[in-house]
Amino acid sequence: MARMTMIEAIRSAMDVSMARDENVVVFGEDVGYFGGVFRCTQGLQQKYGRTRCFDAPISESGIVGAAIGMAAYGLKPCIEIQFADYMYPAYDQLTQEAARLRYRSNGEFTCPMVVRMPTGGGIFGGQTHSQSPEALFTHVCGLQVVVPSNPYDAKGLLISAIENPDPVIFLEPKRLYNGPFDGHHDRPVTSWAGHSLGEVPEDHYAVPLGKAVVRREGSAVTVLAYGTMVHVAQTTAEETGIDAEVIDLRTLLPLDLETIVQSVKKTGRCMVVHEATLTSGYGAELVSLVQEHCFYHLEAPVIRVAGWDTPYPHAQEWDYFPGPARIGEALRDMMEA
Amino acid sequence: MRDGQRLSLHVPEPEVRPGDKPDFSKVTIPKAGSVRRPEVDADPETIRDLAFSIIRVLNREGEAVGPWAGTLTTEELLEGLRHMMLLRSFDARMLTAQRQGKTSFYMQHLGEEAVSCAFQRALEPGDMNFPTYRQAGLLIAGGYPMVDMMNQIYSNDADPLKGRQLPVLYSAREHGFFTVSGNLATQYIQAVGWAMASAIRQDTKIAAGWIGDGSTAESDFHTALVFASTYRAPVILNVVNNQWAISTFQGVARGGSGTFAARGLGYGLPSLRVDGNDYLAVHAVAKWAAERARQNIGPTLIEYVTYRVGAHSTSDDPSAYRPKEESEAWPLGDPVIRLKNHLIRIGAWSEERHKQAEAEIRDTVVAAQKEAERHGTLHSGGRPSMRDMFEGVYAEMPPHLKRQRQQAGV
């Protein structure tokens, strides 16, 4: 075991995978010599050479399009889109190509590829470095969507993603890169050093895709969260004294519905929190599934606390972010219902 | 600028429209054999002129002339003629089948047969094409069974793609034919990626990307050229300029660049322009580019100058936007007739043998069609199962899809 930040854990996952399988290649903007703007690929080029880890032109559609060709050849590209906000030029390649190769060729061509991208706000990144576009991917059949919330999961999930035979969108909450974030932006930053999930094995291990985990057991209400919001939800439960059961979804597609249903049937209440904008967000899918599968166990309407339906603002970042105050208030309202 | 001068927008128009007299006077056709053949390791800077000329081998008399001649034996040329005739006959039968309601859609190659048929001869087993919907000659020349193509077109119970894909969007990995997307240009950068992978693994295989004149305007075209140039990928980037993108003439995508081949110059790619209706020239240029890629020298851009004689697809009517006589006036002629005349000229073929071959080929295609139709057509007979619809989205079916399949009752 070693102490790792989420950045180190993600790097370790690629390192371990590249060492085990020479088909694993890593590329993207600034990922080669420099090691990525968030340092996730630092040292990989030096260790594995320029043809296994290299810089790409500033062309997201090119990075993804080339990776699709490589995957069709038989490589396993693990590519980086510098910010999730930059992925739109690649959306055509992801949704109509990567996601459908297997289906449309009846398995002749497949696309074992991982597309890593930092997601979410909290670093004063403004509208083009803060977005959470997960719902744009969960709507696409053929893709899988993963959002880790801590170093241990990040490494295990990334290894699973690299070893998966189909394309995986791997969204890395950038606010969690260097430490867990409880949503209180005005308090001192904490590091992963003091967190149990900052303990990460140095060797190969896998956290399976499609499996959620209960992060905090509770009996009053189920809170469904992923990424940064897992920590915010846990903190809010402690601070409000409301005995919430917090589920870390980890994989959004395919979704671990069983764990959700089991919990909501127990608590009778459900809240979904995400940083992405509200309307047509992934929360809508979760709410729909919960009412469909747990309707007769519900004691209150299922509600969502999410980013407002505005572009991610710069100065008003913390007014936009669904922090402990908003979640706490919604939880209290819900318990009164 | 003078004070108060108003601007005006330039919107290009073709020279002629329906009712006008076809006019190709602005298409400059150099004499066959007149364009030089550089060494495959030539510095792209020294061969920029090849992007503005047209490499041709067959002259008006049916002779193979000049430095690009001589890449194929007579036997290979006879086989090439057969491939083009097969493709033309196949197209005719499938067009009729579509009109008869046996499938929803079809796209033919009429006039462009030489491009894909001759190109395939320059590749080796294991190489990979990333084709568009108008390169079925790659399959025909590569020996892919016509029955399987028809099964795909009919979406019947023997369709290798289980009814999931629009007709003619074949996939044939073993024949070096990447699954056709149906979106335009996306496959161009994928071809570059595949070639990069081959180089990363220090393999010997090369890739070929395909695109039409119209979709060179897509950003994927630019992206592919950047990546190919940056990583010197072992890839041949083919542009089939058949003059028409559905109803839009090639000038709308080309803009002021002169030729499509010239697009490659800014990326430092050797860029060649070739007579796409000249089987021998297509093969010679493809072979040059393939050698260059295989020797790890790098990518090549090739523009094939040809003409789409037929409609874009069965959903298109060219008489609405271009003169009916335009294809007759096309100055580079018909690829089948030109190769036929050459073979007659060198004493390897005759009008009688040609007629006989036409009949034999028609019989071959009809026999294949009958066999395919035993497996059903789009609206009658065998068809892929509803279960096939749910399979293959992922390697392993996820729980939500299993629930939906159950809901559908299969």
- Is A70's Cβ below 8 Å from some Cβ in B? yes
Q: Are residues B335 and B398 in the same domain?
A: no
CA distance A159 to chain B (A): 17
Is A69 close to B393, i.e. CB distance below 8 A? no
A52, A62, A142: residue with CB nearest B223: A62
Question: Can you say whether the dihedral through the CA atoms of B332, B334, B336, B342 is positive or negative?
Answer: negative
In a domain, A63, yes or no: yes
CA distance A138 to chain B (A): 12
Is residue B244 classed as helix, strand or coil in its secondary structure? strand
Question: Phi and psi dihedrals of A180, rounded to 5?
Answer: -65, 150
The residue in chain B having the minimum alpha-carbon distance to the alpha carbon of residue A52 is B200
pLDDT at B246: 95
In a domain, B19, yes or no: no
Q: Are residues B351 and B409 in the same domain?
A: no
Q: Are residues A156 and A79 in the same domain?
A: yes
Is B196 close to A69, i.e. CB distance below 8 A? yes
3-state secondary structure chain A: CEECCHHHHHHHHHHHHHHHCCCEEEEECCCCCCCCCCCCCCCHHHHHCCCCEEECCCCHHHHHHHHHHHHHHCCEEEEECCCHHHCHHHHHHHHHHHCCHHHHCCCCCCCCCEEEEEECCCCCCHHHCCCCCHHHHHCCCCCEEECCCCHHHHHHHHHHHHHCCCCEEEEEEHHHCCCCCCCCCCCCCCCHHHCHHHEECCCCCCCCCCCCEEEECCCCEEEEECCHHHHHHHHHHHHHCCCEEEEECCEEECCCHHHHHHHHHHHCCEEEEEEEECCCCHHHHHHHHHHHHHHHHCCCCCEEEEECCCCCCCCCHHHHCCCHHHHHHHHHHHHHC
User: Would you tell me which residues 103-162 of chain B have a C-beta closer than 8 angstroms to some C-beta of chain A?
Assistant: 128, 130, 160-162
A51, A104, A142: residue with CB nearest B394: A142
Q: Are residues A139 and A83 in the same domain?
A: yes
Compute the 3-state secondary structure of chain B and give helix, strand, coil in percent, each to the nearest 5.
40, 10, 50
In a domain, B217, yes or no: yes
Q: Are residues B335 and B407 in the same domain?
A: no
Q: Are residues A81 and A229 in the same domain?
A: no
Is A68 close to B190, i.e. CB distance below 8 A? yes
Strand partners of residue B240? B212, B304
The residue in chain B having the minimum alpha-carbon distance to the alpha carbon of residue A68 is B190
Question: Phi and psi dihedrals of A64, rounded to 5?
Answer: -70, -45
Q: How many residues does chain B have?
A: 410
**Helices and strands per DSSP (H, E), number in chain B:** 13, 7
Q: Are residues B365 and B408 in the same domain?
A: no
Say if the ipTM goes beyond 0.95: yes
- Is A60's Cβ below 8 Å from some Cβ in B? no
In a domain, B297, yes or no: yes
B173, B181, B224: residue with CB nearest A96: B181
Q: Are residues B137 and B89 in the same domain?
A: yes
Q: Are residues B310 and B404 in the same domain?
A: no
- Catalytic-residue membership of A314: no
Helix or strand holding residue B216 (H, E) = none
Q: Are residues B367 and B404 in the same domain?
A: no
Instruction: Compute the distance between CA of residue B66 and CA of residue A120 in angstroms, rounded to an integer.
Output: 63
Residue A93: which residues within 8 A CB-CB, separation 6 or more? A61, A64, A65, A68, B186, B189
- Is A25's Cβ below 8 Å from some Cβ in B? yes
CB contacts of A97 in chain B (<8 Å) are 181, 183, 186, 190
Counting one residue from A and one from B, how many pairs have CB atoms under 8 Å apart? Answer: 136
Q: Taking the model in full, what pTM does it have? A: 0.98
How many domains does chain A contain in total?
Answer: 2
In a domain, A13, yes or no: yes
A62, A97, A210: residue with CB nearest B398: A210
Strand partners of residue A171? A117
User: Would you tell me which residues 123-152 of chain A have a C-beta closer than 8 angstroms to some C-beta of chain B?
Assistant: 141-142, 144
Judge whether B127 and B175 are in contact, CB under 8 Å.
Answer: no
Q: Are residues B59 and B199 in the same domain?
A: yes
In a domain, A276, yes or no: yes
Instruction: Compute the distance between CA of residue A296 and CA of residue A260 in angstroms, rounded to an integer.
Output: 15
Is B196 close to A102, i.e. CB distance below 8 A? no
Is B400 close to A89, i.e. CB distance below 8 A? no
Of A129, A184, A293, A314, which one is the catalytic site residue?
A129
Q: Are residues B97 and B55 in the same domain?
A: yes
Q: Are residues A36 and A174 in the same domain?
A: yes
In a domain, B31, yes or no: no
CB contacts of A145 in chain B (<8 Å) are none
Q: Are residues A110 and A78 in the same domain?
A: yes
- Is B201's Cβ below 8 Å from some Cβ in A? yes
Q: What are the helix (H) ranges across B256-350?
A: 279-294, 326-329, 335-345
In a domain, A208, yes or no: no
| Under-50 pLDDT residues of chain A | none
In a domain, B321, yes or no: no
Judge whether B221 and B228 are in contact, CB under 8 Å.
Answer: no
pLDDT at A325: 97
Residue A298, domain extent: 213-336
pLDDT at A337: 77
Among the three residues A165, A200, A235, which one is the final residue of a domain in this structure? Answer: A200
- Is A52's Cβ below 8 Å from some Cβ in B? yes
CB contacts of B400 in chain A (<8 Å) are 254-255, 257
Helix or strand holding residue B260 (H, E) = none
In a domain, A205, yes or no: no
Q: Are residues B360 and B402 in the same domain?
A: no
Cis-peptide, bond into residue A254, ω within 30° of zero: yes
How many domains does chain B contain in total?
Answer: 2
- Is A288's Cβ below 8 Å from some Cβ in B? no
| Under-70 pLDDT residues of chain B | 1-2
CA distance A65 to chain B (A): 5
pLDDT at B1: 56
Is B227 close to A57, i.e. CB distance below 8 A? yes
B291: CATH: 3.40.50.970
Q: Are residues B332 and B197 in the same domain?
A: yes
Q: Based on the number of CB atoms within 10 Å of its own CB, is B228 exposed (0-12), middle (13-18) or buried (19 or more)?
A: buried
What is the distance between the terminal CA atoms of chain B, rounded to a whole angstrom?
72
Is B179 close to A108, i.e. CB distance below 8 A? yes
Q: Are residues A156 and A298 in the same domain?
A: no
Is A254 close to B398, i.e. CB distance below 8 A? yes
Q: Are residues B134 and B202 in the same domain?
A: yes
Instruction: Quickly tell me which residue has 């992405």 as its tokens.
Output: A276
User: Would you tell me which residues 284-323 of chain B have a C-beta closer than 8 angstroms to some C-beta of chain A?
Assistant: none
pLDDT at A13: 98
In a domain, B296, yes or no: yes
Q: Are residues A64 and A182 in the same domain?
A: yes
Residue B162, domain extent: 44-314+326-379
Among the three residues A200, A231, A255, which one is the final residue of a domain in this structure? Answer: A200
Q: Are residues A161 and A192 in the same domain?
A: yes
Q: Are residues A243 and A180 in the same domain?
A: no
Is A254 close to B200, i.e. CB distance below 8 A? no
The distance from CA B7 to its chain's CA centroid, rounded to whole angstroms, is: 40
- Is B200's Cβ below 8 Å from some Cβ in A? yes
Instruction: Compute the distance between CA of residue B196 and CA of residue A152 in angstroms, rounded to an integer.
Output: 33
pLDDT in tens, A4-50: 999 999 999 999 999 999 999 999 999 999 999 999 999 999 999 99
CB contacts of B207 in chain A (<8 Å) are 69
Instruction: Compute the distance between CA of residue B221 and CA of residue B234 in angstroms, rounded to an integer.
Output: 16
